[in-house]
Amino acid sequence: MTQLDIFSDPICPWCYIGKANLDRALEANPNHPFRVRWLPFMLNPDMPKDGMDRRTYLESKFGGQQGAVNAYMPVIEHAQKAGLKINLDAIEKTPSTVDAHRLIHWAEMEGVQTPIVSALFRAYFVDGRDIGDIEVLADIADGNGMDASVVMRLLSTDEDRREIVERDAAARGMGINSVPTFIVAQQHAVPGAQPPELWSSVISEILGAKDPDAP
């Protein structure tokens, strides 16, 4: 197997799109060599624990309402190409994602990391749920093979919070400054929401390199 590490944040629309494109390539290549692992990168590491109003956040980040609209036009376009629904009007708050990343971290131990990541994207971008709320996170855990009561108890503590913060800092120290960023075989960085065709090409190249009869 080939390790595919994905640095992402569950409130990043390009990460949502990038995952959809990767999923299409993996479905088209069921013999793919990838073992996928999701790693933390927080778009807003200094976000208050309770998050902030979504409109205020976007207008502050993009220099006003029109700036926010302009920034999200290509997001909508690429989401449609990827076959995704993004319900931006339903999103009222931009949350802190440290707790969501803790859930993703624990999900790896349970062998359900990708389903949890998928559910977080769907909860935020489609349902407009507050994925900074520990009750919402426990509900997501419960629907994807994890024990909600255990997750709720852990989220009520600082368990692994420092590790998430340190992993985020380590990613930045590696030179990662945007997400999604994919690391293939712990060597090759592939930044951005790449199209399915690129991933199919990478898969073919890896499989060809492992085939002793390949030309």
CA 121 to centroid of chain Cα atoms: 7
CA 172 to each of CA 5, 40, 100: distance values in angstroms, whole numbers, following the listed order: 15, 11, 19
Which residues are CB-contacts of 182 (< 8 A; sequence separation ≥ 6)? 4, 5, 6, 7, 18, 22, 189, 190, 191, 194
Locate the domains of the chain by residue range. Answer: 2-210
Other Cβ atoms closer than 10 A to 153: 13
| pLDDT given at position 214 | 46
Q: Tens digit of pLDDT per residue, the chain (215 long)? A: 999 999 999 999 999 999 999 999 999 999 999 999 999 999 999 999 999 999 999 999 999 989 988 999 999 999 999 999 899 999 999 999 999 999 999 999 999 999 999 999 999 999 999 999 999 999 999 999 999 999 999 999 999 999 999 999 999 999 999 999 999 999 999 999 999 999 999 999 999 986 544 44
Can you give the pLDDT at residue 211?
57
Tokens coding 59? 């207008």
93 Cβ neighbours under 8 A, 6+ residues apart: 51, 52, 53, 54, 130, 132
C-alpha–C-alpha distance, residues 124 and 79, integer Å: 14
The architecture CATH gives domain 2-210: 3-Layer(aba) Sandwich (3.40)
Residue type, 129: R
pLDDT (0 to 100) of residue 131: 98
